[in-house]
Chain A
């Protein structure tokens, strides 16, 4: 296996650490704050001890001698703390449930003109190259292929296949997706395509040569193509990329829906 067992184990440990560090530093804020927390937990006790020593030496210490009293107080506080933690957990459960129900309410109120069925996202594609999702409604709920899927913020995609209890949705950020759209300031049609390297951006192509695109322009579905109904919000123009040939220029669209955190959707059935 390994020429030297000890070297092998050290090698594996180093690889694990390297992997965790790569993951942490490549994913920005979330993991960074996690590591900050870990680091602070490791360093803070030492820091506290040093501060205490410093205070004691400089005569500012308020340390008192009644250790028994302190112990009692500590026990009481610990008991109270666990009670509070328990209630906090219960409250958090209620809060999550409440937010989910509010999400449903918002969705149905916003898209009241459409007949819709709510659904949860139960799975996401495990490949790096396609961005399909699976939802928990299917034929039994009246879902059919080519139905449009939306979320509170805007367009999600359409149903590509359906089983009795689940449906597969091709999201608009998938590289195989093309959505015919219009900009808020004009009636001209453009095509929004998914890109490989982002789950938050689309590439708007075939922009009319005589049209000036404005950053922040709202993009909506045009209703062309026969899948998506007209007027569903897709996103906003983030940036315009000029090319040598004006016909090749394209715009980067920031999707209204955050596909990384997508959990509830509505399927438009009419």
Chain B
């Protein structure tokens, strides 16, 4: 019963904070420096891990689909399946999970430490709303940069599939590329980008929220960090279902 109450209380806080993030966004002072800093942390510093994950996902997709489609003599569709899977689903979900692990946890730990060392109280006392100063740049930075990472992941994943199909499985490169683009349209790409933006918002907001309400010193910071990753990952998977239902 207590867990159920905690869940609804956390959900209520989520929407309350989201509302305040939206209310504070257009109000000065605009902290462009923080926004750029956070975009660097979330975007630039996540490029290697997102690229590597997308590359191997594309490669595995290519191996798996080729093996199965061979049974139906339909191996020429490997390119289409890899591209559609990457662009519509895999790149944004896997990219989101990776960023949740890398950046959501960091946000939870950073704000959690600030909470237990009274730095968040100090912000409030210095007439600075912590949601304005800490959360607004983090939420927007993540919501804006995750789609860029996901597009990069799309390209690398499709390329990974191409490399395996052509070099390892002997597919015709021209035919592979033509089937890759044949069934792919702008809507597929956009749906992945929209999902990524929503996932970015969820990751940052949940990470910040967990850190913001940290209690209990160093152990509390540890709990908030773990919770930031777990809750953001679950939120990504659940929201992915509903977004897919709405977008297709």
Q: Do A and B come from one complex?
A: no
